[in-house]
Structure 1
Amino acid sequence: MNPTQPAERYSSESLPMHGRMEMFSGDQDPLTSVQYTTINMVTEPPKDHIVWSLWCFFYGNPCCLGLAALIFSIKARDRKMVGDMPGARHYGSTACCLNTVATVLVSLSIIIAIITVSVILAQLSRL
Structure 2
Amino acid sequence: MNRTSHHFFPGAHTSVPPTYEMLKEEHEVAVLGAPQGSGPVMSTVVNIRSETVVPDHIVWSLFNTLFFNPCCLGFVAFAYSVKSRDRKMVGDVIGAQSYASTAKCLNIWALVLGLLVISAVTIAVIVIYATALAQI
Q: What TM-score does the superposition give when structure 1 sets the normalisation length?
A: 0.66
The residue aligned with 2:58 is: 50
The residue aligned with 1:13 is: none
CA-atom RMSD, angstroms? 2.1
Matched, 1:116 2:121: no
Q: Which of these residues, 108, 113, 131, is aligned with residue 105 of structure 1?
A: 113
Provide structure 1 residue ranges, at least 5 long, that are not aligned to the other structure: 11-39
| Secondary structure of 1:47's aligned partner | coil
The residue aligned with 2:43 is: 7
In 2, Cα distance between the equivalents of 1:86 and 1:65? 23
In 2, Cα distance between the equivalents of 1:123 and 1:6? 88
| Secondary structure of 1:45's aligned partner | coil
Q: Over alpha carbons, which structure has the higher Rg?
A: 2
Provide structure 2 residue ranges, at least 5 long, that are not aligned to the other structure: 1-40
Deviation per residue, 1:66-90 (Å, 9 max, x gap): 1110110000000000110011000
In 2, Cα distance between the equivalents of 1:68 and 1:6? 54
In 2, Cα distance between the equivalents of 1:94 and 1:63? 16
Q: Which of these residues, 66, 80, 84, is aligned with residue 74 of structure 2?
A: 66
Distance 1:9 1:62, change over 3 A: same
| Secondary structure of 2:53's aligned partner | coil
TM-superposed CA distance for 1:7, in Å, is 2.8
How many residues are aligned here?
Answer: 94
- Mapped contact 2:52–2:93 kept (Cα < 8 A): no
- 1:72-111 correspondence to structure 2 within 5 Å: 72-111=80-119
TM-superposed CA distance for 1:64, in Å, is 1.2
In 1, Cα distance between the equivalents of 2:124 and 2:52? 45
Moved over 6 A (4+): none
Distance 1:60 1:8, change over 3 A: same
**% identity of equivalent residues:** 46
In 1, Cα distance between the equivalents of 2:112 and 2:52? 27
Range 89-98 or range 59-68, more displaced:
59-68
